[in-house]
Structure 1
Amino acid sequence: MTRVVVLGGTGHIGGYLVPRLVAAGAEVTVVSRGRSAPYRDDPAWNEVSSVVVDRGAEERAGVFGARIRDLDPDVVVDLICFDLDSARQLVEPLRGRVQHFLHCGTMWVHGPSTVVPVTEDAPRHPFGDYGIRKAEIERWLLDENSRNGLPATVLHPGHITGPGWAPINPVGNLDLGVFHALAAGDEVVLPNLGMETVHHVHADDVASAFVAAMAAREAAVGENFHVVSPGAITLRGYAGAVAEWYGHPARLSFLGWEQWREQVPEAAARLTYDHIAHSAHGSIAKAERLLGFRPRHTSLEAIREALDWLAARGEIPPLR
């Protein structure tokens, strides 16, 4: 039985990944801070071992990697690593001890795209702290594979969504008021011409990609893969689809970026800028070819599930 340790396994991806691993016959240990229950209830959690660890504190003490090594894993899945020092501290004690090390990256390692859909071998031009840090981790892990045989695989999700997680909205931020406005038939103002793209992915499809990478280990080791829906969507297309779910056409208007940003709170403007400046649009051809990855959800299907969940909680009006 394969022993799999999942770091951050109670989060949104882990809520789907851990039950999938149990169903596949793995012996699963979840390492988390123990501050929240899993996103999703599932009988599989009764078969999972849990270890409560403050990763930040143990990294400062220099003992986190050894703690994971001592769990004697065959496979380690790291869903919560956000800087290179953290990755190094984890990997060093695991050298020669694990069969497969899987890291959760992000489509934002690319920065702005030149040709879309962007492929994994496109030149990297990351910007912003998150994208830059994740690109550093990716580069180091894959270099460690080529130089020293580290059995690493990096998977790059897009905008993760689904039940339990509010989706990035049609203006590129997390303001639920945009969905209220679309429900009411009110005018929604999009930045620029609304032609920038967002590339959502259902959390269960991300989980399925990790399982597929483990199953296709020989093809996956030393490689990076995009994990997104079959196609990105434009902001205006997204707004139009949501309005249709509420039974009417979208009423849209447009403002240039500098004008638009003055209409919203600063934090919302920063988040929108990150999304429209990246305009994520990734190819999954490599993951399809080497891993057999077949996402079950389109972007809009994943978003619809998230919105139905929000509506059931009373956070947005119910959709038709």
Structure 2
Amino acid sequence: MRALVIGGNGFIGSALVPALQARGADVAVLDPGRPRADVDWRGVEFIAGSLADPVVTARALSGVDVVFHLASTTVPGTSNLDPVADVQGNLVATLGLLGAMRSAGVRRIVYFSSGGTVYGNPTVSPVPESHPLHPISSYGVVKVAIENYLRMYQQLGDLDPVILRPSNPYGPRQSTAGVQGAVAAFLGAAARGEPVSIWGDGEVVRDYIYIDDLVELAATAGLSQEVGVFNVGSGEGHSLNALVAMVSDVVGRPLAVEYQAGRAFDVRRVVLDVGAARRGFAWSPHTSLREGLAATWRALAPP
């Protein structure tokens, strides 16, 4: 089994690669960045190139059985600044990938969508996969569009897609720059001795999933024969204020908080129903938020 991980140099992708290798897969990575130094790339074919380059993409697909698509040029907080670039960099590039897969006869793809943005402001909690999709950011809109194209090609008999909707992944090696990921941003601020910035009143509720639990499901799903849409989360919600309190407890000192004006594209509450993933893959998240925070803090600021 040969797997191609598009975006394999990123936080999630670099954790997925060894999870696939542990299951006996031959792994290739397509990523425009230089191989990160904190990952053991032995046994991995690293193809430096852009998903938007059709020649590179076609070469990367040679001999591949399953594609894991994690690449994104935007995050929810930046996507609304230039929706045209969001569409070109993500939707158009992905359509090129799907066309190349059809030409190469590669049917199976695991697409990392978004459990935090595609639903918009949900009307029920926890949120099932059947909930209407009403995204309020360009990031979510593009994710939904890609999901719809995957379903179209499935109906046409060309692809066998698995769509994963992760909640908010976190864990060791995630960037602490603060662009995406409250856990990494808060722990990074704690390591630097800086205050934490929160947009709004801190009562925004999110579902946080530890990276090992996420890639366990992703690898299992990709190497299975299942198709469909699956939420991937802890099934539990925590407000940003509660997260700050838990981070303070883990690091052993209180974090100063600076509250900023709320942002219109921030969904107020998203907690995912992960029953479908439990049933489909005999999977469940094993890492509590407290345990995951402690593990991430140890990796970030070892004694």
Name the counterpart of 1:124: 133
Of the three residues 44, 64, 80, the one matched with 1:73 is: 64
TM-score, length basis structure 1: 0.76
For residue 209 of structure 2, give the secondary structure of its aligned residue in structure 1: strand
Against the structure 1 CA distance between its residues 306 and 48, is the aligned structure 2 distance closer, same or farther, given a 3 Å change threshold?
same
- Indicate the residue corresponding to 1:159 in structure 2: 168
- Please name the residue that 1:101 is paired with: 109
Partner of 1:92: 99
Q: Percent identity?
A: 27
Secondary structure at the residue paired with 1:236? helix
Amino acid at match of 1:87: T
- Provide the residue aligned with 1:196 in structure 2: 204
C-alpha contact 2:233 2:274 (8 A) present in aligned 1: yes
Q: Quote how far apart the aligned CAs of 1:123 are.
A: 0.2
Aligned residue number for residue 168 of structure 1:
181
Is the 8 Å Cα contact of residues 30 and 50 (structure 1) preserved in structure 2? yes
The one-letter amino acid paired with 2:43 is E
Q: Deviations over 1:118-150 (max 9, x none)?
A: 011100000111111111111211222123341
Find the residue that maps to 1:63 and give its secondary structure. Answer: helix
Displacement of 1:299: 2.9
2:68–2:222 CA contact under 8 A, matched in 1: no
Shift of 1:98: 1.9
Alpha-carbon distance between aligned partners in 2 of 1:5 and 1:177, rounded to the nearest angstrom: 31
Which letter maps to 1:241?
M
Partner of 2:286: 296
CA contact (8 A) 1:34 1:52 kept: yes
Cα deviations across residues 249-281 of structure 1 (Å, max 9, x unaligned)? 88989xxxxxx535xxxxxx65xx644x25321
Q: Distance in 1 between matches of 2:24 and 2:256?
A: 50
Distance 2:188 2:199 in 1: 13
Q: Which runs of 5+ in 1 are unaligned?
A: 254-259, 263-268, 313-317
Deviations 1:278-317 (A, max 9, x none): 53211111111112222221233323322333323xxxxx
CA distance in 2, matches of 1:39, 1:278: 35
What does 1:233-312 correspond to in 2, within 5 Å? 233-247=238-252, 260-262=259-261, 270=263, 274-275=265-266, 277-312=267-302
Return 5+ residue gaps in structure 2 as ranges. Answer: 74-89
Query: Partner residue of 1:22?
Result: 21
What letter corresponds to residue 90 of structure 1 in structure 2? L
SS at match of 1:50: strand
What TM-score do the two structures reach when normalised by structure 2? Answer: 0.80
Tell me the equivalent position of 2:78.
none
Pairs aligned (count): 281
SS at match of 2:58: helix
Superposed CA offset, 1:137-194 (max 9, x none) = 1121122212334111111112221011138348xx936686479x89x9998833x4
Higher helix share: 1
For 1:19 and 1:72, locate their aligned partners in 2 and report how far apart those are by CA, in whole Å.
Answer: 20
Q: Is the 8 A contact 1:7 1:32 kept in 2?
A: yes
Instruction: Tell me, yes or no, if structure 1 residue 55 matches structure 2 residue 51.
Output: yes
Give how far 1:52 is off.
Answer: 1.6
Deviation at 1:197, TM superposition (A): 0.6
**What secondary structure is seen at the aligned counterpart in 2 of 1:225?**
strand
Contact 2:5 2:28 in 1 (8 A): yes
What is the letter of the counterpart of residue 55 of structure 2?
A: V
For the residue of structure 2 that corresponds to 1:55, the secondary structure is: coil
Measured at CA, do residues 190 and 300 of structure 1 come closer, stay the same or move farther in structure 2, by a change above 3 Å?
farther
Paired AA for residue 93 in structure 1: A
* RMSD of Structure 2 on Structure 1 (CA): 3.1
1:123/1:244 Cα in 2 relative to 1: closer, same or farther (>3 Å)?
Answer: same
1:315 corresponding residue in structure 2: none
1:36 Cα offset (Å): 3.5
Partner of 2:83: none
The superposition leaves residues 26-60 of structure 1 with CA deviations (integer Å, 9 ceiling, x where unpaired) of 1111112242326434xxx322222221334x1xx
User: Could you say what secondary structure the match of 1:133 adopts?
Assistant: helix
Letter of the 2:65 counterpart: D
